[in-house]
Structure 1
Amino acid sequence: MLKGIAVTCRDLNGRRSAESGQMRPPADHHKAGKLRFPMLPRSRINVWLLRASTSILLWTCIIQLTALGELWRPRLLGGRSSCNEQKESVSPIVPIYPPQSECFLFLVSFFFLDLAYSLVLFVLPGIYKNNGYLMVSCNGGLNQMRAAICDMVTIARRLNVTLVVPELDKTSFWADPSNFDDIFDVDNFIFSLRDQVKIVKKLPSKFDRLVENKSIFTLAPISWSNETYYDKQILPLVRKQKVIRLNRTDARLANNGLPSDMQLLRCRVNYHALRFTPKIMALGQKLVKILRSKGPFLVLHLRYEMDMLAFSGCTHGCTNSEAEELTTMRYAFPWWKEKVINSEQKRKDGLCPLTPEETALVLRALGYSNSTQLYIAAGEIYGSQRRMLALQAAFPNIVRKEMLLTPAELRPFYNHSSQMAALDYLVSLESDVFVPTYDGNMAKVAEGHRRYLGFRKTVQLDRKVIIDLVDQLRDGAISWDEFSIAIKQAHKFRMGMPKRRRVFPDRPKEEDYFYSNPHECLCKPSSDLSATD
């Protein structure tokens, strides 16, 4: 009941409505012509109803708190264990039932709470109205768009605007034609957030002309902005324009320094509201079931794909023709701004994805045997089988979704890269170990999701250290045993355990990404854990 009170009080203070502020005419209004009603705030009867509902609600809260105070006092006085501590002794659980008087108070409070809520629903739509409509055009791959959607919902809640279901990127390198409801359960998305922000599937018809004329006010927010930017810069625009569109929505909200309610809402959207469609969920669960039937499995997010290599400029191990092909591709896409790249220097700095050959060495050094069941969560590996020979030799039990599912099962997902990535994402969440070879969007978002699910083991590879050790091993400067010991030591505290994000106020791109470690939504990490593990 206490939870119910909190939700209702929050509804009183923050309920969103897109109504114009006028009462709806009665069902028989056609008999009297188009009768215009005055605004509700000016009506004495509605002011009285608002006062009455508020009084009833307050008295209901008092009644419930009185009853619950007597019922829960022993538990509250008994204290509460932390996430990292367990009580030394556990007393037997004895059921405690409230006396009849308290049960009566609960029943009375339920009655008044329902009455008050009904009155509030009747009065508030005419008094509280939102500031306008927010349209969102996401950009990037699946997980880049996923994080952007979480941010945009949080911003919509902050600005008190109605959010239109986000549009997904169809013009990027992947050219995936999927809409929001092809990937995510749109009804769950809207319903699960109904107490936080109003979400609609499309703009009201009164804005049709704006849409047809493509005259909706559009802008790209400044990256890594805090709530003040949106309050001071974006909110006035929404109030003036009534509907605006935000594009380039990736990384437009700060990682740190935001109010706790905004951070918690980001998690709620990510881990509860953004649920994949039943079709994707069913096939993802089938993949996990097949893998589990064969024992434990490790998911390797081998980000050695053509788009990543072209974007990063990393050509180590590629032939001259392959390096030229990747460079040509980088120049062909204008949104990849960095064109001239020193591949070898970037590799030494740890800024390149590990090659399949380097990955094989690292997994062996970490102690994984050749019998390990290894699932590749990635698209087509650049260089095909030639680049996979060393990894395949070290780990013969390599599987992919194309090997575990029939062509008929995968056919609906062909040419839909985001839906394919969603399958890999589901398998990555459920794996015994998750190892990304590059800290891209999927690696970061999946890492954070695994933390939320109970700090599941995620190996955060230190690529700069790894490259230095790999080069020493190949040059004969260190032995295999020395290499293995050094790799294990370097990753001893990089297994996805609790820690706090690193914060660099003046360098947001270098600090830890919120979605890779949303510690505000998790159990508090132990004080003896370093913030920079």
Structure 2
Amino acid sequence: MAVISVKPMFTVVVVTLSLILAVLVFSPTSPFYQSPLSLASPQRKLDIWSVGRIVEWRPCKWWLQGHLTALPSKSNGFIRVDCYGGLNQMRRDLCDGVGIARLLNATLVLPKFEVAAYWNESRYPQFAKAALCQACYSALRLTKALEKKASELLEAIPKPFLSLHLRFEPDMVAYSQCEYPYLSPASIEAVKAAQGDRKPWTGELAQIWRKRGKCPLTPNETAFILQVLSIPTNTNIYLAAGDGLMEIEGLTSVYTNVVTKSSLLSGEDFKSMHGNTKAALDYYVSINSDSYIATYFGNMDKMVAAMRAYNGLYKTLFLSRRAFAEYTSQGLIGKELMQALWKTHRDDFVMGRGSALPDCFCEFKL
């Protein structure tokens, strides 16, 4: 949430437009919980990126190319945006603030960030919604020092590469209220330490929750779906993930060319970084990657997908936790499970589902 003070006339509380999705879950009743997933038959020759798309999301012309009205000569006052939360939450708060400032014909002063400045301030365009879109996608940039570090990281990654946003940290699993009884003892202890009073769902409630797609995919499940999508196992993968990612061997035992921030940056440099700085590096690398796949649909994923669409990069896909939970609960295994998962993700990619935020992007038929 961003708290916006307007002088001399008003006080406005802006609730970010980002959709905050509940976190994921996975039930121990799945037949794939007790052993690593493996493909039951050879991969198809056609990978997911080779499928022809029907729909493409592009920046709407009304804000990208339109002739916008000039600002009135007199301002109604001043607005200051206080930005809180994660990196992309703060970005969205700032973009909302630009739109509100234009709507109220108020002057936006430099934003106050909760921890430190990560985004450069920019010139703000004209009427409210166009101002939001232009500020978010055309004007807003990382600070020069941070962009330099991010550019160096991008340069160090073997090319071409897939940026994979994988969420399976202890706090994510704990928040999801899902049981993972077949994790390693160390992972189970880490989840318990992060749970606090939030206990896992059990019984029928756990099944209902899981079928809603509230479960984080494990690294092993992620590797299985990537194989279903015919992503070659020798693909260079940049792992965009937070600290403490669990069970990573489930991915790296299949996809062996995986690099991380910590493996590419010097130890001291990495240890001293704030969490939002690390998120900024992941954001920059992901919007410039050859392809992007996420196992989650949070603020970062929405912004990355939108910026990739803005830049004309359409190899973007979100893995479906809901579909995986539904198909495994139906008892699908082997070839049947592979075919069902392929069809779901193929259809999502063909229609461009989840590839951009709707407020500034329009659907184009191909």
Aligned mate of 1:185, from 103, 113, 120: 120
Aligned mate of 2:103, from 147, 158, 166: 158
Q: Deviations over 1:365-401 (max 9, x none)?
A: 1111221111110112343xxx112211111111101
- Structure 1 residues 418-457: aligned runs within 5 Å: 418-457=276-315
State yes or no: 1:365 paired with 2:300.
no
* Offset, 1:421: 0.5
In structure 2, C-alpha distance between the alignment counterparts of 1:314 and 1:415, rounded to whole Å: 30
Cα RMSD after superposing both structures: 3.2
The secondary structure found in structure 1 opposite 2:316 is coil
- Structure 1 residues 165-176: aligned runs within 5 Å: 165-169=110-114
Larger relative strand fraction = 2
In structure 1, C-alpha distance between the alignment counterparts of 2:277 and 2:190, rounded to whole Å: 28
2:342 counterpart residue number:
488
Aligned mate of 1:137, from 71, 79, 82: 82
2:146 counterpart residue number:
280
Point out which structure has higher relative CO (alpha carbons under 8 A, 6+ apart): 2
1:461 counterpart residue number:
319
In structure 2, C-alpha distance between the alignment counterparts of 1:300 and 1:425, rounded to whole Å: 11
How high is the TM-score relative to the length of structure 2?
A: 0.71
The secondary structure found in structure 2 opposite 1:347 is helix
In structure 2, C-alpha distance between the alignment counterparts of 1:270 and 1:466, rounded to whole Å: 33
- Flag the 1:369–1:363 CA change in 2: closer, same or farther, 3 A: same
Larger relative helix fraction = 1
The secondary structure found in structure 1 opposite 2:286 is helix
* Offset, 1:409: 4.6
* Offset, 1:485: 2.1
Q: Deviations over 1:429-448 (max 9, x none)?
A: 11122111111111111111
In structure 2, C-alpha distance between the alignment counterparts of 1:133 and 1:443, rounded to whole Å: 32
State yes or no: 1:478 paired with 2:338.
no
* Offset, 1:346: 2.2
1:406 counterpart residue number:
266
1:24 counterpart residue number:
none
The answer to whether the 8 A contact 1:455-1:497 is kept is: no
Q: Deviations over 1:125-144 (max 9, x none)?
A: xxx53222222222221111
Q: Deviations over 1:59-89 (max 9, x none)?
A: xxxxxxxxxxxxxxxxxxxxxxxx99xxxxx
Q: Structure 2 regions of 5+ residues with no counterpart?
A: 1-6, 9-54, 57-69
State yes or no: 1:308 paired with 2:172.
yes
Greater Rg, structure 1 or structure 2? 1
Q: Structure 1 regions of 5+ residues with no counterpart?
A: 1-17, 20-82, 85-119, 170-176, 197-260, 332-338, 500-511, 529-533
- Flag the 1:362–1:524 CA change in 2: closer, same or farther, 3 A: closer
2:215 counterpart residue number:
352
Identity of aligned residues (%): 35
In structure 1, C-alpha distance between the alignment counterparts of 2:210 and 2:287, rounded to whole Å: 28
In structure 1, C-alpha distance between the alignment counterparts of 2:197 and 2:166, rounded to whole Å: 20
Aligned length: 295
The answer to whether the 8 A contact 2:173-2:191 is kept is: no
- Flag the 1:330–1:417 CA change in 2: closer, same or farther, 3 A: farther
* Offset, 1:155: 0.4
- Flag the 1:363–1:470 CA change in 2: closer, same or farther, 3 A: farther
In structure 2, C-alpha distance between the alignment counterparts of 1:426 and 1:410, rounded to whole Å: 16
